[in-house]
Amino acid sequence: MDLSLSDEQRLLGDAASRFIAGRYSFEARRTILQSTEGFSREIWREFADLGWLGLSVPEEFGGLGAGAVETGIVMEALGRALVVEPYLATAVIAVPLIAELGSQQQKAELLPPIVAGKSRLAFAQAEPQARFALDDVATKAVRTSVGWRLEGRKDVVLGAPWADHLLVVARISPTQRDRSGIGVFVVPSSAAGIVRTDYQTLDGGRASNIVFSEAAVPTDALLGGSEHALPAIEKVTDNAIAAMASEAVGCMQVLLETTIAYTKQRIQFGKPLADNQVLRHRMAAMAVKIEEARASALNAVLAADADPLTRARAASSAKVKVGRSGRFVAEQAVQLHGGMGVTEELNVGAYFKRLMAIDIIFGSPEFHLQRHARLSRQQAA
C-alpha cells in the first residue's frame, strides 16, 4: 500500500500547474469564452504537445498508456483553471470508450488523430426521458442492407459543436430498458440525417441537442461490432465521474483560497471579515468538505480498474460526496464574497457554475445516492 505519487506523476502535476498558471488566467479564459468558437484551438494543440490528449491512449497508438491517477492529476489542474476545452469529452470519455470497445482497426484510425490534437469527439448518450439511467436508451439503430440507420434524439451532448465525430449510444435490441442490445456508433458530425442545435452551457462550454433522422452509417461504425456495450459505457462513465471529481476538487480548492484571501483583505465594521469567528469556522468547514471530497475522488480514481461493483460504488460515492461538498463550498464562497460573489465580475461565480455542471453531468448526487443504495443491496444479496 502506497498513496504517494510517483516521480512521473509529480512531474505531470507540476507541468499541469505551470501550464495553468502561465496560459490559462481568468482573463485568458474570458477571451476564449467570448470568441466565436468558444474554445481555443491553440490551447488544444498545446494539450497535444504536453501529451495530455494521449494520456490514457495505449502506447501502441501513440499515447502514454497512463491510468486514472494521471487523468485525475490533469483534471484537478484543469479544474483549478476552469478550462473549457473539451478534455473530458475527448480524452476522458471518447478515448477509453474506443480503447475498451473498438476493433484494432478502429483504434488505429481514431486514436492517433486524437493524440495529435487533430480530432475531437463528443459522447452522445443522454436522452430526454432517461434521467441519467445509462440503460434507458430510446435512440434506435436499425440494421439496413448497407449498415445502420440511426433514429432518435440525444440531449446535451457536451462539446458536440467542436467535435468531428460523435460516439452515439443506440439501441439495437427492441426493448427500451434492456442491459444488452446497446451499441456505440462512431458517426461523423457532418453526416446526413443529423440535425444539431448548438448552445452555450452553464459552465461556459458548448453543447448540442441532436436529432437523428434516417441517419445512415456504415456497418463498421459500430464500435468493435459490439451489441453489448453497456458494461463498457458504465465503466467509462464511472471513470469519467472519478475524473470530474478530481476536477471538482481543483475548483473547490481555488474557491477556498480565494475566499480566505478575500475575507482577510475585506474590511467591514473596522476589521477584516476573516476576524469574524463565524466566517473562520465556515471556512474551516469548507476545508473539511474539501478534504472529504478529495478523499472520495481518490477512492473513485483508485477503483477505476476494480471489479464493476466496487468501481460503481466508488464512482457513485464520489458523485454524492463531491456533489455535496461542491455545493457547500461554492455556496459559501459566494456567500462570503457578498454582493460581488453573485456577479460575473469575479471568478467565484464561474467556479460555482462549473461545480453545478459537474453535479449534473452523468447524474445528480441524489440519483447516485439511490444507485449506491441499490448497489449496496446487490452486494448484500
Partner 1 sequence: MDLSFSKDELAFRDEVRDFIAKNLTEEARRGQRLTPSALSEKAVFGSWHAALYRKGWVAPYWPKEYGGAGWTPAQRYIFESELGLAGAPRLLPFGIHMVGPVIIKFGSQVQKDYYLPRILSGEDYWCQGYSEPGSGSDLASLKTKAVRDGDHYVVNGTKIWTTHAHFADRMFALVRTADTPKRQEGISFLLIDMKTKGISTRPIITIGGDHEVNQVFFDDVHVPVENRVGEENKGWTYAKYLLEFERGAGFRASGLRRELKELRELIARDRAGSVAGDESLASRLSEIEIDIDALEMIELKLLSDVQAGRNPGPVSSVLKLRGTEVFQAITRLGVDVIGHNALVWEPRRPLYGLNEPAVLPEEELAILPAHLDGRAHTIFGGTSEIQHEIIAKQMLGL
Residues that bind its own copies (CB under 8 A): 276-278, 281
Q: Which does 285 bind (CB under 5 to 8 A by kind): its own copies, partner 1, none?
A: partner 1
CB of 240 to partner 1, least distance (A): 14
Matching residue, cell 475527448? 90
**Window 45-74: residues binding partner 1 (CB under 8 A):** 69
**Window 8-27: residues binding partner 1 (CB under 8 A):** 9
Q: Judged by CB under 8 A, does residue 120 bind partner 1? A: no
Q: Judged by CB under 8 A, does residue 2 bind partner 1? A: yes
Smallest Cα–Cα separation from 48: which of 121, 117, 119? 117
* One residue of 225, 291, 309, 378 binding partner 1 per CB under 8 A: 291
Q: Which amino acid is at 61?
A: F
* One residue of 59, 214, 305, 366 binding partner 1 per CB under 8 A: 366
HSE on the CB side for 351, CA within 13 Å? 33
* One residue of 25, 213, 219, 376 binding partner 1 per CB under 8 A: 376
Classify each residue of 352-374 as buried b or exposed e, where b means 16 or more C-beta atoms within 10 Å of its C-beta: bbbbbbbbbbbbbbebbbebbee
CB of 281 to its own copies, least distance (A): 5
* One residue of 37, 284, 308, 378 binding partner 1 per CB under 8 A: 284
* One residue of 197, 213, 219, 378 binding partner 1 per CB under 8 A: 197
Q: Judged by CB under 8 A, does residue 156 bind partner 1? A: yes
Q: Judged by CB under 8 A, does residue 269 bind partner 1? A: yes
The H-assigned helical ranges of 36-186 are 41-50, 68-81, 87, 95-101, 104-115
Matching residue, cell 480548492? 253
Q: Judged by CB under 8 A, does residue 357 bind partner 1? A: yes
Q: Is the separation of the CB atoms in 136 and 130 below 8 Å?
A: yes
- Smaller CB distance to its own copies: residue 36 or 277? 277
- For residue 284 the three cell numbers come to 474551516
CB of 139 to partner 1, least distance (A): 15
* One residue of 81, 260, 329, 355 binding partner 1 per CB under 8 A: 260
CB of 264 to its own copies, least distance (A): 17
Indicate if the alpha-carbon torsion angle 72, 125, 159, 232 is positive or negative: positive
* One residue of 33, 84, 97, 274 binding partner 1 per CB under 8 A: 274
**Binding segment toward partner 1, per CB under 8 A, in 25-33, 142-150, 214-222, 348-356:** 348-356
CA angle 185, 354, 55 (to 5 degrees): 50
- Smaller CB distance to its own copies: residue 194 or 279? 279
* One residue of 243, 352, 354, 355 binding partner 1 per CB under 8 A: 352
CA dihedral 276, 282, 287, 292 (to 10 degrees): 160
Nearest 5°: phi and psi at 148?
-135, 155
CA dihedral 232, 233, 238, 240 (to 10 degrees): 110
Q: Which does 109 bind (CB under 5 to 8 A by kind): its own copies, partner 1, none?
A: none
Helix (H, G, I), strand (E, B) or coil at 125: coil
Q: Judged by CB under 8 A, does residue 266 bind partner 1? A: yes
